[in-house]
Amino acid sequence: MKIGVLGIQGDIQEHLAVIRKLGHEAVWIRESDALKTVEALIMPGGESTTMTKLLKRFAIWEPLRKSINSGMPVFATCAGMILLSSGIENYPAQDTLGVLDVTIERNGYGRQVDSFEADLYVNYFGDVPFRAVFIRAPKIATTGKEVEVMASFGGTPVLVRERNIIAASFHPELTDDVRLQRYFLDMVGNSIEDATSRM
């Protein structure tokens, strides 16, 4: 499969490396036309305000929203989740794509110096915990009724899925555990099979 990584700002190389490690073609997405060449998209962490400005400057913002609303599978981490959310509950105000029915508290787990790791128990992964790295992590404040909570930390969702979107507050690309990426790729494969069967 051909998987895109939104290459505007953030942990781009790390995500590209994981996709290649798992045997798929990884494409660095820097322009809107490139969205049409991939079967799914990863939106990495970074600085959400900067990413928003650059996505609009390079005319990717609206094509990205359209692609996701049309069913493109997306896996968003940290700042990527902020961009997808339906809104931000604390400062500063910024635009979001509004395609994932969650509201976000930016830096909800603290700033850079408050970064930490934690073991999570993820739905579908059995009893073996997933080691999650939280760096200036956004906190999910509310979830819509169609949002599935796949993992929580301290009673708060940190990994969610809604239809074609998976979003995490943490950085799975910074560990050697690739179960979450495999889960996403299986989701992409199922999406392709469903589309083929309808043709």
Spell out the per-residue pLDDT of the chain, length 199, in tens. 999 999 888 789 999 999 999 999 999 999 999 999 999 999 998 888 899 999 999 999 999 999 999 999 999 999 999 999 999 988 667 899 999 999 999 877 766 655 899 999 999 999 999 999 999 899 999 999 999 999 999 999 999 999 999 999 999 999 999 999 999 999 999 887 776 666 6
117 is catalytic: no
Helices 61-69 and 48-57, interaxial angle, to 10°? 100
Residue 173 designated active-site: yes
* pLDDT score of 93: 74
pLDDT at position 114: 59
Query: Cβ distance 96 to 86 under 8 Å?
Result: yes
- Catalytic residue chosen out of the listed positions 39, 105, 162, 173: 173
Residues 6+ positions from 168 with CB-CB distance below 8 Å: 75, 76, 77, 78, 81, 132, 158, 159, 180
The set of residues, in sequence order, having a beta carbon less than 8 Å from that of 190 and lying 6+ positions away, is none
Q: Which of 24, 39, 78, 105 is catalytic?
A: 78
The answer to whether residue 162 is catalytic is no
